Structure 1
Amino acid sequence: MELFFIRHGEGEHTLNLPSSLHKRNPPLTKKGMDQAKKLKDRFPLSTQDIVFISPLVRTMQTAMLWADGVDCRKIVTPYVSPRMFPLLSNKQTLPCDVMMEKENILHAFPSFELDDNPPVALWKEGFNTATERDFTRYAEEFLANCSRLKKEKIYIVSHDGTITSYRQLITGRQLSRDDFPKETGWFRINC
């Protein structure tokens, strides 16, 4: 199985650092929307494809613009929600990384479905500040769920820290913030 981890397009939370990080669940910028639309050329989707998406506006907008006109499965899941990397002790989730509530997701993105596999606690808190042990447990659950789908490739729209955490777990290589993907940057990992 090939996993394609794709970072969301440019979000408003990156425009006026550090104060913009305190904007709750910011959307994509115009540039971010253009970046998301260009994913159609790099990764043309079909009705057979599955896209897992982090439950934040910027990731869901990226997936919506990329998949526009294609009736593929678009599944929102906290298994790919924001992840602090590297994990810093005594840190809290910033407003820009607070997940949307399920009801709001379905209202704003009616063509998306919600993943019913994650535990309720993960839907409430995500794993932004979870211990490495808890992240590993959740990540392994997600990877096992993906494997059960019996797909050759699965797409995942997520965040730089989350993608890097998954890459580190899957490859066993020590990574740093220098390994973060750029906006709509991607990594393919064989599992």
Structure 2
Amino acid sequence: MELIFIRHGQGEHTLNLPESLHMDNPSLTIQGRGQAKNLRSSLPLAAGDVLIVSPTFRTLQTALIWSENIECNRWVHPMVAPRIFPTRLAATTLPCDELLDFERLQDEFPTFAPAPNLTSSLWVTGINVLCEDEFTLLAEEFIDFCRSFQRERIYIVTHDGTITSYRQQISGQQLTREDFLLETEYFHLVVE
């Protein structure tokens, strides 16, 4: 199975650092919307494809724009929510990385289904500050969730630290922040 991790388009929280990191639920910028639209030609989706998205506004916007008019399977999963990389003890989640609550998710993104059978705490806290051991266990469960679709390829719209965490976990390579993808760049990982 091939997992294709895509970083979301440019978000408003990146425009006036570090102050903008304290925005709640930042949207895509105009440039970010254009980047998401460009995914249609650089990484076209087809009917029946599986698209898994982080429960943040900017990732859901990216996925919605990219998948417009495509009858694909759209899921939201907290195991691809924002993640600090590298992990730091005593780190806290910034407002820009807080997860959307269920009500807003359902109201604004009704074509995306929440992943089933997860603990409610994961929907609240996400994976941002999980220790490596806990992340490793949950990452295996997430990969099993991906396998359950029995597809050759799964598309995942997520965040730079999350992508790098999965890349390191799956490949066994030691990575750094220098390995972060740019907006709407993508990375293929093969999982046996």
**TM-score interval (norm. to shorter):** over 0.9
- Normalised by the size of structure 1, how large is the TM-score? 0.98
CA distance in 1, matches of 2:190, 2:64: 25
2:95 counterpart of 1:106: no
- TM-score norm. by structure 2 comes to 0.98
Q: Once superposed, which parts of structure 1, at least 4 consecutive aligned residues long, lie more than 2 Å away?
A: none
* 1:147 Cα deviation from its structure 2 partner: 1.1
Number of the residue aligned with 1:26: 26
Kindly indicate whether the alpha-carbon contact (under 8 Å) linking 1:77 and 1:118 is maintained by their aligned counterparts in 2. Answer: no
Q: Distance in 2 between matches of 1:60 and 1:178?
A: 25
Greater CA deviation, 100-109 or 110-119? 110-119
User: 1:117: Cα distance to partner?
Assistant: 3.1
What SS class does the counterpart of residue 144 from structure 1 fall into?
A: helix
Instruction: Name stretches of at least 5 consecutive residues in structure 1 with no aligned partner.
Output: none
Give the deviation of 1:27 after TM superposition. 0.3
- What CA RMSD, in Å, does the superposition of the two structures yield over aligned residues? 0.7
- Say whether 1:178 aligns with 2:181: no
Give 1:118 shift.
2.4
| Structure 2 partner of 1:35 | 35
Instruction: Confirm or deny: 8 A CA contact 1:50 1:155 kept in the other structure.
Output: yes
Q: Post-superposition shift, 1:180?
A: 0.3
Aligned length: 191
Partner letter of residue 92 of structure 1?
A: T
| Contact 1:79/1:118 (8 A) holds in 2 | no
The residue number in structure 2 matching 1:15 is 15
Unaligned runs of 5+ in 2: none
Report % sequence identity: 49
User: Which segment is superposed worse, 4-13 or 103-112?
Assistant: 103-112
CA shift, 1:156, in A, is 0.1
Compare 38-47 and 171-180 and name the one that shifted more: 38-47
Please tell me whether residue 137 in structure 1 is matched to residue 142 in structure 2: no
